[in-house]
Structure 1
Amino acid sequence: MGRIVTRLDAVRRRHLLVQLALAATGMVTLVLATLLMLGTVGFWRGQPPSALRWALLVMTLTVWLAGAVWFALVPLRRRLNYAQAARLVEEQLGGLRNGLINALQLSTDPHQASPAMVQKAIEETIRRCARAPLSEAVRLDALKRWSLGAAVVAAAAVGFVIFFGPQLSRGLAAVFRPGAYVPTAGTVKLLSIKPGDTTIFAGENLTVVAKVHNPQRRRLRAWVEIAGRDDGPPASASADRSTFSCALGKVEQSFKYAVHVGDSRFPAEKPYYTVSVLQRVEVEGLDLAYSYPAYTGLAEKEVLNAAGPIEAPLGTMVRVRLRLSAPVPGAVLETRSGRRLKMRPDSAGKSYATVLHVTCEDAYRVVLTDSVGRRLQQLPDTSAGIVSGGGELEGLYPIRPVPDAAPRIEFIEPNRDVSVPVGGKLLTRLRASDDYGLASVKFFLGRERQGQNNRPTQAADARMVHSFAEVRGKQAVELTYTVDIGNDCREGDVLVYYAAATDGRNLGRLGGPQRAESPIFKILIQDAAKVAAERAKRYEQLRRRLLAILEAQERQRVNTEIAARKHSDMVQVRRTGRQIVAGQQAIKTDMLDVVDHFPFTPEMLTVQQALALLANNEAALAITQARVVAGLSETAERTKACAALAGTQEKIIQSLQTLLAILPSLQREAAEAKKPSAGEDVPPEAREKLTALKTQLERFIEEQRKIIEASERLTKKAVDDFTPEDEKLLKDLQLAQDKWEKFLNEKFTDFSKLAQQDFSKPSLLKELISVKTDVTMAKDALKKKATEIATAIEDNGIENAKTLTANIEKWLPDEPDRIKWN
């Protein structure tokens, strides 16, 4: 009997599986069919009625519930037992008659009359069922029919999705979300739409622009639907029919709109776009409050109605406050570097503020936003194309951090390497400054040692010997420090010194204190006599350079007189003018060479500065005026041009004479020689030399008169009419002037040495060199056979010699002079 039960179990399982498959297929068919029917709602123009949507939802849920009961719950509750399975097999398979059911019943009957006969009947049934396909008693015909139906419905659903997917989606959304907006569906694909949802100020122009995918360039009708109106303005298409625009003009109140393109409506996911209109907001002012870093010592500053650009020291905190005529939902400060700072409103919403840190070169703008953060307006406002400069061209105010320059420190005196004897002292004077205040200034001194490759390691060998505590917080100071050359130094030693300044900058990661060092100078330990000899040598070199420049200028002064008074042919005037140009250029070059390359000592700085001014002013002007002479075309213009040039040349000559005259007094001050007290007599040696000079000047005056008389005889003849005797006389006159020039040069040198001992005034030296200048110029004029010019210069030389003689007499009174001459 066990084998029959096993085979009946197989029939029961097959029957259950078929019933489940039928239920699934039926439910699929039902659901798909229902969805297809609901999808047709998507073709409804506009929004389907709410009542219809609710009714369809209820009906759909009811149908699905009934289907679930019908296809699944009922069959599952009617599962076959063994007797039912036996009856099913006997009904579907022939030849078994009632054998299976009888066998099942007899096997379970406890009151069997003849167990042997029952067993024999069961065995007969088993024999008959042995070859019968009991499982085939469960038929698949119904399952096949439902499967075919499900396949047809599924195919219809796929086709619906392919061809009417948007409508299907819209219909399902309408039914299953009966209270929500039903997205619209169309064949036009939207790429972008502007402005979409937006917030603007009243009176602004608004244009709606929609871009769609239209590669075939189909003719599409487009228009803008305004909520609450029956019709709307049309939109114009671009040439490629992919962009549609509609100008709505100035907008004064809020409204809602949608855009229709072809059979599509946008927005698809909601009823309308919203344009919120705010009353126009005017910017009443932009205020900037500066809080500077503490180390700068700058007081806080507030700028009301500021222009916008920020310029402040690095590390400054700037409070930016925007004042408006009406409230706005929000404001944000944006920087070019990517910072976005939300601004805090006041209680009325008409003022917004935030704090901006100046950390680098940047730019910023203030953006007014609506309640969801959309941009409404910005400052600076570039919509009108009017900007005030700089970064505002790109709609940004510039932020310029003012750099804090490092401290500046330099030695005023001496600002070069110097020589000092053992036991001597060197007074140094230095200047230090900083934009916001110094923190420290230190003086470093040490012996010079030789590093690798015999290179001095100057800075490393110096140590701090003095700190100037009084500089803290000051922006500019002048300090002095005396270096004592102790007896532990030996001749030939070299000391190095420099100074260092530090400011008070303290900005953390933005930068700490800055340090600056002066150039490093050397002190050569030398014998005092050698130092004095070196100084005297330098002064003598400078005197010779200045004398050479003076003599060159004297020659060009003579050339100017020749061009003005002697030449009758303009060709000769222009030729001489070109010579003067070349000569004046050489003079200026020599002056600048002395300024740039001569080793001036601190006490010589006056000479260096005066010579630099002379080169860049009068000497440069003389070149320009000489070019005018060299380019003259008419005789009438000669006098004025030459007179202007001569005046400039005279200024140059007088300036050079003054510089030569003051050199000895500068040398005396540098040597720090003893100065005479009031009423001190002229020493005998000086008195003797001054007396001899006076006598020789009187003889010079007499000889100059004779030379003038001889020159006047020559001026009455033309140069071409000179006889051999006249040529000999001219030669003799040149030799006489040459002799006196050499004499005066010697006396100027001797007289300079006297001046170094304060036995004379610089004015006497200048008078002496003026006499020498007249002689040199007269000699040059005679060489060029310009005797009438030489005569005038010789007259001037006599007058200068008389003046000098009279002044010398003041130094040689019969009684000792008790008045000190400064």
Structure 2
Amino acid sequence: MSINEKTANDDPLQERLMRLWRRERLRVHAKGLAWALLFLPPLLLVLFGLDRMLDLPRMGRWSFLLLALALFVWQGRKRWFLRLKPFDALHWASRVEKHFPQMGSLLINYVQIVSPIPKASGSQELLGLVSQQAAQASGSIDFSKTVDFKDLRKSLKRTTVSISVFLFFCLLFGDSMSVAMKRYLGWNLAYPTETILFEIPGGTTVAKGSKLSLSLGVRGKVPEEGMVFVRSEGSESWRQINLVRNEDGGFTYSVNKVEESFEYFFEIGDAFSHSRRDPGSVTVVSPPVAEKQSLAVSPPSYTGLPAYETKNLSSAVPEGSRLTWLVEMSSAISEATLYGPEEFSLAGQIERGGMAVKFSWIARQSGVYQLNFRESERGMEFKGQIHKLSLREDLEPRVTLISPGSTVQATPQKTLDLTVRASDDYGLYEFAILYRLNGEKNRHRISLGTPPTNDSQKDLPFPRSGTWPLRWKIQEDLSDLRSGDLIEIAVEVSEVAPDSDSSRKAVTRTCSVEILSVAEYQTYITTRFNQLQSDLAESERREMLIKHAIEASGSEPSE
């Protein structure tokens, strides 16, 4: 027992420091044990893996075992036992003071006073006062808070994961790990050596030029390397190809591009996939190919476009067209399906005894299309060439009000002249006037019918672009107009479409017509006439001034 420990037995305050020291030793032991349980399972798994993969001799196993034990002892001493310190009252008083700074060094001074070595100097009254103050200041303080066990949570979580992984491997490789333990203790036991092949491929038929992979699973004794023996169809000699074990423990023989049929068998460990007299076979088949294509396009009738034909599906067609795609094959097929965007799928109509297939549908989606088909002889499925179909979208109509301007003054008998410019990619179906009287909520509509075609578009069923004069006799539709009424007018144009519900419309800007009485209108005309005369006179005056200025500049003598 140290001097500090003897003093602690006679002093309640130092006894509390002693309990704090014991609490710290308990924390170190708990952390060390957690480290040992964290480190030991991976170490055992590494020893098992080395022996299982390398099949180590006895001296090799003992060498690895001694190395592992030395590493474990070295790390255990460093992480556990070297962290166990003897009791030092001054050290623990400093830790308490650091955690509870409100004590103001009273506990450190107290420990220095009561420590027999070195003996504190000073009057007994002063020493007694310091002791009394230290006891009073520390009376309400819980020293155990200085040592916190919360930092063990992370270590315990890691240890739990490590033990769980170890137990999982024990469940997965229990027999082999039991054998490994006995082997490290000195027994020369052998691991299971029987090689078992499963999921063995049989006869396979593939398309010429495609990629081929022949895989099988292996359990039991799984060697690092295996072999596959291959011979061309009709040949007598076998060609040996070495294989390396896959990450999943199986073996795979791959050919990037198969050109001819062949026979094969695997030799993995002491097991064979097939006998030499009855090997596995791969039959190579030439896939049917599209020898000729034609795409018939029938645009929607409202577009006025004629039907036409193109060479293949990689084309641009008007949206909503009826497409008929005919594909002639090099050999017979039993079924075919066309796949496209947005889960598009269409079964084809087989014709000419399987030598041709036809598809017919309405073009609604642009994107990538691919033909998949099954050949007739063996029922194999193939994927054909990829095509990109583009759709020409039906654009919205456009219309502009050229005249009149934003505001017009007129009498109720006025015939309003309007000029509009309009266009649409497939045709303009109808013009209409939209008007609202005195700020009504809803507009009224007056149809003006289909615009007339000009000479350049006389062969089209509907005009597609142009500038048209429109006339509206206001009194015929609004017979009760009075002075002060305000009419808001716009022109609407409708495009040609399959039906009236799907026809899109465009509307011009709004112009206002202010209704005046005859007298007011005459006053307006007179005022407007006078304004125009004044503007004309001002223009003539400015023209004269400019003319005189030009003449004056031309007559100035040169320097």
Please give the TM-score of this superposition, normalised by the length of structure 2: 0.51
Could you tell me whether the CA contact under 8 Å between 2:205 and 2:285 is conserved in 1? no
2:547: which partner in 1?
771
SS at match of 2:305: coil
Q: 1:205 to 1:489 in 2, by over 3 A?
A: closer
Report the Cα distance in structure 2 between the residues aligned to 1:364 and 1:312, rounded to whole angstroms: 14
**Counterpart pick for 2:197 among 182, 185, 188:** 188
SS at match of 2:395: coil
2:484: which partner in 1?
492
What is the aligned residue count? 346
1:433: which partner in 2?
423
Matches within 5 A, 1:47-196: 187-190=196-199
Q: 1:414 to 1:497 in 2, by over 3 A?
A: same
| CA positional deviation for 1:480 | 2.6
Could you tell me whether the CA contact under 8 Å between 1:438 and 1:501 is conserved in 2? yes
2:213: which partner in 1?
208
| CA positional deviation for 1:274 | 5.2
| Percent of paired sites with the same residue | 16
| CA positional deviation for 1:525 | 2.4
Report the Cα distance in structure 2 between the residues aligned to 1:536 and 1:189, rounded to whole angstroms: 108
Report the Cα distance in structure 2 between the residues aligned to 1:366 and 1:507, rounded to whole angstroms: 34
Q: Report the RMSD for the aligned CA atoms in angstroms.
A: 4.3
Does residue 356 (structure 1) correspond to residue 361 (structure 2)? The answer is yes
Matches within 5 A, 1:716-735: none
Quick one: which amino acid aligns to residue 491 of structure 1? S
Does residue 379 (structure 1) correspond to residue 385 (structure 2)? The answer is yes
Matches within 5 A, 1:366-765: 366-371=371-376, 374-380=380-386, 397-450=387-440, 457=441, 460-464=442-446, 466-468=448-450, 470=452, 473-486=462-475, 488-506=480-498, 512-526=502-516, 527-528=520-521, 529-530=523-524, 533=527, 664=536, 749=538, 751=540
**Counterpart pick for 2:337 among 332, 341, 349:** 332
Report the Cα distance in structure 2 between the residues aligned to 1:483 and 1:223, rounded to whole angstroms: 92
| CA positional deviation for 1:523 | 1.0
Report the Cα distance in structure 1 between the residues aligned to 2:526 and 2:251, rounded to whole angstroms: 96
**Counterpart pick for 1:278 among 277, 285, 290:** 285
Quick one: which amino acid aligns to residue 354 of structure 1? F
Q: 1:299 to 1:466 in 2, by over 3 A?
A: closer
SS at match of 1:221: strand
Q: 1:468 to 1:351 in 2, by over 3 A?
A: closer
Report the Cα distance in structure 2 between the residues aligned to 1:238 and 1:532, rounded to whole angstroms: 105
Could you tell me whether the CA contact under 8 Å between 2:227 and 2:242 is conserved in 1? yes
Could you tell me whether the CA contact under 8 Å between 1:235 and 1:246 is conserved in 2? no
2:47: which partner in 1?
none
1:580: which partner in 2?
none
SS at match of 2:342: coil
Does residue 234 (structure 1) correspond to residue 241 (structure 2)? The answer is yes
Gaps of 5+ in 2: 1-174, 176-193, 454-460
| CA positional deviation for 1:300 | 1.1
Quick one: which amino acid aligns to residue 462 of structure 1? H
Report the Cα distance in structure 2 between the residues aligned to 1:246 and 1:256, rounded to whole angstroms: 13
Could you tell me whether the CA contact under 8 Å between 2:224 and 2:245 is conserved in 1? no
Q: Deviations over 1:727-773 (max 9, x none)?
A: xxxxxxxxxxxxxxxxxxxxx72726xxxxxxxxxxxx75x353365
Q: Deviations over 1:642-684 (max 9, x none)?
A: xxxxxxxxxxxxxxxxxxxxx84xxxxxxxxxxxxxxxxxxxx
Q: Which has the larger radius of gyration?
A: 1
Quick one: which amino acid aligns to residue 465 of structure 2? A
Report the Cα distance in structure 1 between the residues aligned to 2:291 and 2:533, rounded to whole angstroms: 71
Q: 1:359 to 1:206 in 2, by over 3 A?
A: closer
Quick one: which amino acid aligns to residue 228 of structure 2? W
2:7: which partner in 1?
none
Quick one: which amino acid aligns to residue 286 of structure 1? Q
Does residue 795 (structure 1) correspond to residue 553 (structure 2)? The answer is yes
Report the Cα distance in structure 1 between the residues aligned to 2:219 and 2:526, rounded to whole angstroms: 99
Quick one: which amino acid aligns to residue 408 of structure 1? R
| CA positional deviation for 1:288 | 1.5
| CA positional deviation for 1:290 | 0.7
SS at match of 1:234: strand
| CA positional deviation for 1:261 | 4.2
Could you tell me whether the CA contact under 8 Å between 1:207 and 1:245 is conserved in 2? no
Which structure: greater helix fraction? 1
Quick one: which amino acid aligns to residue 391 of structure 2? P
Could you tell me whether the CA contact under 8 Å between 1:497 and 1:520 is conserved in 2? yes
Which structure: greater strand fraction? 2
Q: 1:276 to 1:335 in 2, by over 3 A?
A: farther
Matches within 5 A, 1:298-309: 298-304=305-311, 306=312, 308-309=313-314
Could you tell me whether the CA contact under 8 Å between 1:188 and 1:264 is conserved in 2? yes
| CA positional deviation for 1:303 | 0.5
Q: 1:248 to 1:403 in 2, by over 3 A?
A: closer
Could you tell me whether the CA contact under 8 Å between 1:505 and 1:512 is conserved in 2? yes
Report the Cα distance in structure 1 between the residues aligned to 2:439 and 2:300, rounded to whole angstroms: 43
Could you tell me whether the CA contact under 8 Å between 1:235 and 1:245 is conserved in 2? no
SS at match of 2:196: coil
Does residue 293 (structure 1) correspond to residue 300 (structure 2)? The answer is yes
| CA positional deviation for 1:277 | 3.0
Report the Cα distance in structure 2 between the residues aligned to 1:339 and 1:537, rounded to whole angstroms: 69
Please give the TM-score of this superposition, normalised by the length of structure 1: 0.36
SS at match of 2:352: coil
Could you tell me whether the CA contact under 8 Å between 1:407 and 1:502 is conserved in 2? yes
Q: 1:513 to 1:426 in 2, by over 3 A?
A: closer
Report the Cα distance in structure 1 between the residues aligned to 2:207 and 2:493, rounded to whole angstroms: 58
Could you tell me whether the CA contact under 8 Å between 1:334 and 1:341 is conserved in 2? yes
| CA positional deviation for 1:334 | 1.6
Gaps of 5+ in 1: 1-162, 164-184, 381-396, 451-456, 541-662, 665-747, 753-764, 775-792, 800-822
Report the Cα distance in structure 2 between the residues aligned to 1:189 and 1:288, rounded to whole angstroms: 50
| CA positional deviation for 1:353 | 2.3
Report the Cα distance in structure 2 between the residues aligned to 1:249 and 1:363, rounded to whole angstroms: 26
Report the Cα distance in structure 2 between the residues aligned to 1:773 and 1:214, rounded to whole angstroms: 110
Report the Cα distance in structure 2 between the residues aligned to 1:341 and 1:361, rounded to whole angstroms: 15
Could you tell me whether the CA contact under 8 Å between 1:332 and 1:369 is conserved in 2? no
Q: 1:402 to 1:484 in 2, by over 3 A?
A: same
